[in-house]
Amino acid sequence: MSTVEATLKWLEKAGDWMNAILVKETRQSLKSRQFVATFLLLVLASWVISVFGVAMMGESINYGASGQRLFVFYFVVLMIAVTVIVPYGAFRSMLGEKDQNTFDSLRITSLSPWQIVWGKLMSALLQDFIYYSAIAPFIAFTSLLEGFELPAVAFVLVCGFLISVALSIMALMISTFAHQRHWQGILSIMLLIGLLTVLGQSSAVLLSLFSDSSLLQSWEFWEGTAIVVLVGLSYCWLFLEITSAQLTFESGNRSSGIRLISSGQFLLMNGLALGMSLLYASAFDEEIFVIFAVFSYVQLTAISFVATTEEDFLSRRIRKSLPQRKLFRFLLAPFLPGGARGMVYLLLNLGLCIGLQLLIVTSIASSGSLGSGSFFDAIKTLTGVALYIIIYLGFASAFGRFASRTAANIMPNHVRVITVLVFAIGCVIPIIAKAMEFLRWREYSLFEIINPFATIIELADDNSWTGPILLILGVFALIAVLLNLKAMVHSIYEIVAIKAAPQDTTVTIEPFQLPEDSPSDPLAEG
Amino acid sequence: MIDDGAVEPIFDDGPEENSPVISGVTSSAPDRSGQSPTLEVRNLHRFFGRLKAVNKVSFKAYPGQVMGFIGPNGAGKTTTMRILATLESPTAGDAFICGDSVVDYPDRVRKRLGFMPDAFGKYPNMNVVEYLDFFARAYGFKGQRRKDAIEHVLVFTELRKLAEKPINTLSKGMSQRLGLGRTLIHDPEVLILDEPAAGLDPRARVELRELIHLLASELKKTVLISSHILTELGEICDSAVIIEAGEILASGSIQDLLTLRRQSSGRQSHASIEMTLIQAGAELEKWLVQQPFVSDVSISQQAASFEFEGTQEDQHNLLKSLVNEGFPVIEFRGKVESLEDAFMDLTRGLTQ
């Protein structure tokens, strides 16, 4: 057997263990005009850059930073391929499953949603790898020239790859939200604009490294990079989980993975802030603290907004997948689907965030840092933010539960839209009142408490209104919690009290029940 | 083919008083004692807001059975099939494939079920073998097992000679074969085919019919098949479920449905007789009306038709009398009732 035959046989065997989507997409890509054209254009552009670059530099190629200058051009060409074409290809690939009516056939195979998403991502990464391989000889050429700095080049190339991965993941996630044709069109355009923006920004930022390569010698630079990469990776994981949830069977568990990962992220971000405050108490300033806190709150609001407005119904399939032990079920309960459990999740995570923030402030104060007072001010502002989150999401959750019982056809998305509208109206009314001179422009009025932005600015300024504002917000937050209390207790109790079925028995059908609000016979009504 | 009327509808709650379900036929369907149903739909409901797309649908099918799923557009066929294929969740009720609930164990169901949607897609830049290879991989087949599965399907669907052909260049008939092949790649016990014959030319339809026949009779697959071409279904299926406006109107073996058709139109006869004569006239009509077992006489210039409620012996005597009376009879035959007749009589022309 020749080496080629042996290699092919080995590859075939290896292919057995590869993701089916990856194998399929690789085969398709190698035959697709788009891939072949992009590859050829990349190589052609690199050749042109090489020929013209060398010709234009003339004898100066032997001195100065000619290697670095040529690398910049190659890098931009590479970035166009890996930050625009590859992510957009991933987006189109997922959309194509729906457009070409192949998605149903795919969903009923043994592939799990995670395998589908992972396969799509891997095929994007494979394309990245091919484009990197194509440009490698040209970069190797620049290494022969003056001014080539291997650490900086390696760092920039690795960053470019990570950006491409992150963008491909985001593109895949966005594609799962585009159900209708017009949305597909709108999202395609928005994505393209976003990708081009990222291309410009990331290329500029990464290439600016060449102007000050001493940064790579700095310990702080690597610390900052590690934090950005860590947080970025956690977001990538979250986006992959969201994408997978979007592809999950209707009666499956679409919520727990997202809730668990998000909680991990809150812990990570606040933990990082805590770690930094402990390590660099004197250098850790209020701004970093607020940035970490605001990041946590924004994400918590986004995730909890969906979680608290879910229907409380828990499908039979999820019930069957619950752990056997009561303790595990109790611990898992806040992460299971359902609006009331979403409220428990929100309160737990807010408690966690606030607890860690207090620890940070305490550690700053105990270190004797002069700036600890401003941290306490920041805590007041953040408490205001937390109370607003409880008020809006608490009322939304209670309203959603009430609406689903009293009105037919009220879906979670309706509740979400109504909540956003209420929030927007709350923000706009005080502005209108000021425009019509019912309120003074330059002064804060308690009426403006319905505008969270104005109120938080007021809290940050720490004026005389701080006490009353926090008191009023606290009262409303308490009402919001009380409105959900019974449902929250019940939602946890029902999980703990559930009698989990053995995993491998044939299902016992629960007594058939029509929904309470089921319509009477529409045929009879004509 | 199995022709013992194996469809066994279930009424968990019992048919309601105003239910359009005709229980006469369903109760007469013989049991398949000792054999478990591979497909069971139990009191299935699917509502979209106020629209009852599927309402109280129940039926069973057994190995080797080809069941037609018939109804007008918007009757709830595709919704039911999509629920069976685990692509949608029921509002209430359940369905089982080989004993596994489609709601609780979709992963298990998918391994034992092949679903061919009405518009199954084709990937670009792929040939026939690559397409089948992808689905074999997607079902977790590795190495030689995967190759064998692909080869088996290529042989069964007679696509071997087109193995290297890009799938986008296949004809409609060949595409449907490929779709069926994809459905069969993991050797499922139950096949759900939504409008597989739509858009096929007569030859392709006949070939598809033969494939489905083979699947049921030799490989003992349970096949649930929907189609608008009822003459085709009548020839493929041994039983049928007729659905309209989300509810089952009738179900049973084809023979049972035809019997039901007669019952629902108030006739008890076992035959509709058609005659061709050199010349037919009022005299013949007058004579026929006077004969026992004869009703609904209709006469045209060279033909006559009537309903006959007697036995075959009585038919023979009637024919003898006709000839003895000197009527110039050329042909005397029982009119073949079709699934189409049953469908037209049993459905009410409702759509949702």
Taking only the tens place, the pLDDT of each residue in A124-153 is 999 999 999 999 999 998 888 877 888 888
Q: Which residue of A has its CA nearest to B50?
A: A519
Q: Taking Cα atoms as reference points, which of B135, B165, B142 lies closest to residue A12?
A: B142
Contacts of A24 in chain B (CB under 8 A): 123, 126, 130, 134, 137
Contacts of A98 in chain B (CB under 8 A): none
**Across chain A, how many H-helices and E-strands are there?**
19, 0
The one-letter code for the residue type at B311 is T
CA dist A37 and A384 (Å) reads 55
Among A21, A108, A316, the residue with its CB nearest the CB of B115 is A108
Specify the pLDDT at position B193. 93
Specify the pLDDT at position B346. 65
Report residue A249's pLDDT band, with 50, 70 and 90 as the boundaries.
Answer: confident
Contact B117 A101 (CB under 8 A): yes
Size of interface A-B (CB pairs under 8 A): 133
Q: B221, B62 in Cβ contact below 8 A? A: no
**Is residue B4 pLDDT above 70, yes or no?**
no
Shortest Cα distance from B200 to chain A (angstroms)?
A: 19
Select the residue from A30, A512, A518 to test the B interface by mutation, using most B Cβ atoms within 10 A.
A512
CA dist A132 and A128 (Å) reads 6
Contacts of A256 (CB under 8 A, 6+ apart): A332, A335, A336, A337
Return the DSSP state at A408: T
**CA within 13 Å, CB half, A518:** 14
Q: A186, A95 in Cβ contact below 8 A? A: no
List the single range of A272-286, A412-426, B22-36, B158-172 with lowest mean pLDDT: B22-36
Q: Is B241 left (phi over 0), alpha (psi -120 to 50) or beta?
A: beta
Q: Taking Cα atoms as reference points, which of A132, A151, A160 lies closest to residue A68?
A: A151
**Is residue A505 pLDDT above 80, yes or no?**
no
CA dist A145 and A69 (Å) reads 10
Q: Taking Cα atoms as reference points, which of B325, B263, B239 lies closest to residue B288?
A: B325
In b/e form, how buried is each residue of B148-169, taking b as 16+ CB within 10 angstroms? ebbeebbebbebeebeeebbee
Q: Is B85 on the interface with A (CB under 8 A)?
A: yes
Specify the pLDDT at position A212. 75
Strands B92-97 and B294-299: unpaired
**Is residue A166 pLDDT above 60, yes or no?**
yes
> pLDDT of A9-56, one tens digit each?
888 788 888 899 999 999 998 888 888 999 999 999 999 999 988 888
> pLDDT of B295-329, one tens digit each?
888 888 888 988 888 877 888 889 999 999 889 99
Q: What sign has the CA pseudo-torsion A429, A435, A438, A441?
A: positive
Return the DSSP state at A176: T
Specify the pLDDT at position B27. 30
> pLDDT of B161-220, one tens digit each?
999 999 989 988 889 889 999 999 999 999 999 988 877 888 888 888 888 988 998 889
Q: Taking Cα atoms as reference points, which of A121, A127, A128 lies closest to residue A91?
A: A121
Contacts made by residues B99-106, CB under 8 angstroms, sequence distance 24+: B99/A506, B99/B36, B100/A506, B100/A507, B101/A316, B101/A506, B101/A507, B101/A509, B103/A251, B103/A315, B103/A316, B103/A317, B104/A316, B104/A317, B104/A320, B104/A507, B105/A317, B105/A507, B106/A249, B106/A251, B106/A252, B106/A317
H or E stretch covering B61 = strand B51-61
Scan for tokens 């359009």, then name that residue: B20
Shortest Cα distance from A304 to chain B (angstroms)?
A: 25
What is the DSSP secondary-structure string of A259-302? HHHHHHHHHHHHHHHHHHHHH-TTT--HHHHHHHHHHHHHHHHH
Contacts of A441 (CB under 8 A, 6+ apart): A434
Report residue B32's pLDDT band, with 50, 70 and 90 as the boundaries.
Answer: low
3-class secondary-structure state, position B121: coil
Contacts of A507 in chain B (CB under 8 A): 94, 100-101, 104-105
**Is residue A479 pLDDT above 90, yes or no?**
yes
Return the DSSP state at A85: I
Mean local confidence (pLDDT), A68-86: 92
Q: Is B47 left (phi over 0), alpha (psi -120 to 50) or beta?
A: beta
Contacts of A261 (CB under 8 A, 6+ apart): A234, A237, A238, A241
**Is residue A314 pLDDT above 60, yes or no?**
yes
Q: Is B49 on the interface with A (CB under 8 A)?
A: yes
H or E stretch covering B68 = strand B66-70
Q: Within 10 Å of residue A252's Cβ, how many Cβ atoms?
A: 19
Report residue B263's pLDDT band, with 50, 70 and 90 as the boundaries.
Answer: low
Specify the pLDDT at position A9. 81
Instruction: Report the predicted TM-score, pTM, of the whole model to 2 decimal places.
Output: 0.80
Specify the pLDDT at position A92. 92
Shortest Cα distance from A2 to chain B (angstroms)?
A: 21
Q: A323, A500 in Cβ contact below 8 A? A: yes
Strands in B303-308's sheet, in edge-to-edge order, are B294-299, B303-308, B271-277, B329-335
CA dist B180 and B170 (Å) reads 14
Which residues are registered as beta bridge partners of B248?
B243
Mean local confidence (pLDDT), B132-139: 94
Looking at mean pLDDT, say which of A376-385, A404-413, B319-328 comes out highest. B319-328
Contact A507 B134 (CB under 8 A): no
Strands in B113-116's sheet, in edge-to-edge order, are B113-116, B190-194, B222-226, B66-70, B239-244, B247-253
Mean local confidence (pLDDT), A426-441: 80
Specify the pLDDT at position B266. 55
Contacts of B245 in chain A (CB under 8 A): 523
Q: What sign has the CA pseudo-torsion B100, B102, B104, B107?
A: positive
CA dist A131 and A140 (Å) reads 14
Contacts made by residues A373-376, CB under 8 angstroms, sequence distance 24+: A374/A286, A375/A286, A375/A289
Looking at mean pLDDT, say which of A191-200, A356-365, B247-256 comes out highest. A191-200
In chain A, pLDDT over 70 holds for what percent of residues? 91
**Is residue A64 pLDDT above 80, yes or no?**
no
Q: B58, B285 in Cβ contact below 8 A? A: no
CA dist A300 and B346 (Å) reads 57
Q: B83, B102 in Cβ contact below 8 A? A: yes
> pLDDT of B271-298, one tens digit each?
788 888 888 788 888 899 888 888 888 8
Select the more confidently predicted residue: A59 or A129: A129
Contacts of B291 (CB under 8 A, 6+ apart): B318, B321
> pLDDT of A315-373, one tens digit each?
888 888 888 888 999 999 999 999 999 999 999 999 988 888 888 888 777 776 645 56
Contact A507 B105 (CB under 8 A): yes
Scan for tokens 């075959």, then name that residue: B312
Alpha helices in A32-102 (DSSP H): 33-57, 66-80, 86-99
Select the more confidently predicted residue: A396 or A437: A396
Shortest Cα distance from A321 to chain B (angstroms)?
A: 9
Q: In whole numbers, what is the pLDDT of chain A averaged over residues?
A: 85
Contacts of B200 (CB under 8 A, 6+ apart): B172, B173, B176, B208
Which residues are registered as beta bridge partners of B69?
B226, B241
